[in-house]
Amino acid sequence: MEPNIAENIRAFRKEKKLTQEQLAEAMGVTTGAVHKWETGLSTPELSMVMELADFFDISVDVLLGYKVRDNREETIVKRLAEYCKTRDPRAITEVEKALQKYPNSFETVYACAVVYQVFGVGGKHEKEVRRSLELFERALTLLPQNKDPEVGEQSIYGGIASSYELLGEYDRSLEILKQHNQYGIFNDDIGLGLAFFRQQYSEAEPYLSKSLINCFLKMTNTVFGLSLVLGTKGDYASALDITEWQQNNIKMFRKGKKTGFLDKVEAMTLVARSYIYLKMEKRKDAMDCMRKAHQIVTCFDMAPSFCGSDFRFVNISSETSFHDGLGTSAGESIENMLGVLDSSELIQLWRNVHENGN
C-alpha cells in the first residue's frame, strides 16, 4: 500500500487554514521543507511525523494514510476474485502474500491457482501458467478441506487441463480431460481441442455431438424452470420470450418431418406457454397453445420415437435414446406436468381439448 502523507499534510494544513509558512514556523522548519513534504519530493523524519500528527490532533496512522486491511482468509479470496475480474496487477503480489499466510489452505491455494491461470492467458506468461499448475496440483492434495460444493476434483483437473492448453501442450491437456470426463462434463472441451488444436475432426465429432445434445437437454430444463420463476414474478413478457426461444431451438434441432422426442419437448413447452397466458388472463392464447400441444401429443403417442439420431447437427449412435422424468408417453408427461403446476384452470383447458379431440 502507498502512503498518502504528502496529500494528508496538505489537506490537514488547509483544514486548519494555515499557509505553508505558518506550518513551517510551527514545526520549526523552513517553508521549503513543508513544500517538499506536500509535493512528495521528500518525507519528514519519523520524529517530525509524530510532531505533525500531534499538531493536527490525529494519529500517525491517519497522517500516513495507513488503513488496516482485512486479511482474513475469506476476505483475501474475495479480493483476489475481484482483482481477476479487472485483471488488476495487484493480484500477483497479493497471491504470494496469501500463500505465505495460508500455505496449506485449500480455499486459498485453489483461488491463487485460478489467479495465476487468469494472468497467464495470452501466450506470453509461461511463468504464471507454470505456477498455476503447481498450485492446482497442491490443491488436489488439500481437497478434503474443500467446503465449496461448486468446486471439486473435476474442476481442479479442468483447471490443470486449461493450463496445459495455455502452454500449448494440447495432447497432455486432452489426455487429462479424457481421464476425468465423468458424465461427459468435458465433452465440449475435448471436442473443441480435437477439432481446433489437433484437426482430428472424426474423433472430435462424437464428443461434440454428445455435448450439443446435453446442452439442449439442460437448456430445456432451464427454460421450464425460468419460465415458472419469471411468471411467478409477474414478468410474463420474459417468460413468453424464453419459451418462444425454446420453440425456435426445437425447430432448429428437428431433422426432417419424422415424429421424435423433440415433439414431446415442444408439447410441454406449449403447455408452459399456456400456463403463462392464463396468468396474463389471455384465455384465447392459452387455449391455442393447449390445442397445439394436444395435436402434437396425439401424433407422438401414435408413433413414439426417442431416438437420438432424430436430432440435426449430431452424429451419434441410433441406439441412443432420450426420456424425460415426467412420463413414458407424451400424454402421461403432460398429465404429470399439469399435476405439478396445480392450476385447475390449466387442467380444465387440457380436459376440454382432450375431450373435443382438437
90-109 pLDDT, tens digit per residue, is 888 888 888 888 899 999 99
CATH topology for 5-64 is 434 Repressor (Amino-terminal Domain) (1.10.260)
pLDDT of residue 172: 96
Q: Does residue 324 surpass a pLDDT of 80? A: no
**In the chain, where are the structural domains located?**
5-64, 73-180, 213-356
Q: What pLDDT was estimated at residue 73?
A: 80
Q: Residue 245's pLDDT band (boundaries 50, 70, 90)?
A: very high
Per-residue confidence (pLDDT) for residue 83, from 0 to 100: 83
Query: Is residue 285 very low, low, confident or very high in pLDDT (cuts 50, 70, 90)?
Result: very high
DSSP 311: B
Q: What is the structure's pLDDT at 1?
A: 44
Least confident of 81-90, 134-143, 227-236, 318-327: 318-327
Query: Of the given ranges (130-134, 176-180, 258-262, 304-308), which has the lowest mean pLDDT?
Result: 304-308
Mean pLDDT across 293-321 = 80
Q: What does the pLDDT look like over 325-351, one tens digit per residue?
A: 777 888 888 899 889 888 899 999 999
Residue 2 zone, left/alpha/beta (φ > 0; ψ -120 to 50; rest):
beta
In sequence order, what DSSP letters do the residues of 234-283 get, joined into one string? T-HHHHHHHHHHHHHHHHHHB-TT---HHHHHHHHHHHHHHHHHHHTT-H
3-state helix, strand, coil in the chain (%, to 5): 70, 0, 25
Q: What is the mean pLDDT of residues 228-232?
A: 91
Same CATH topology for 73-180 and 213-356: the answer is yes
Mean pLDDT, range 154-175, rounded to an integer = 95
Give the CATH number of domain 213-356: 1.25.40
Reported pTM: 0.75
Q: Decide if 106 contacts 146 (C-beta within 8 A).
A: yes
Per CATH, the number for 73-180 is 1.25.40.10
What share of the chain has pLDDT > 90, as a percent? Answer: 55
What gap in Å lies between CA 278 and CA 135, rounded to an integer?
Answer: 54
pLDDT band at 273 (very low <50, low <70, confident <90, very high): very high
Q: Check pLDDT > 90 for residue 32.
A: yes
Q: What is the pLDDT of residue 65?
A: 76
Answer whether 194's CB lies under 8 Å from 204's CB.
Answer: yes
Angle between helices 344-356 and 283-302 (to 10 degrees): 50
The predicted-structure confidence for 199-228, as pLDDT tens digits, reads as follows: 999 999 999 999 998 898 899 999 999 999
Q: Cell 439442449 identifies what position?
A: 216
State how far the Cα of 339 lies from the Cα of 222, in Å rounded to an integer: 20
Predicted pLDDT of residue 123: 61
What number is the average pLDDT over the span 251-261? 84
The residue ranking higher by pLDDT, 101 or 317, is: 101
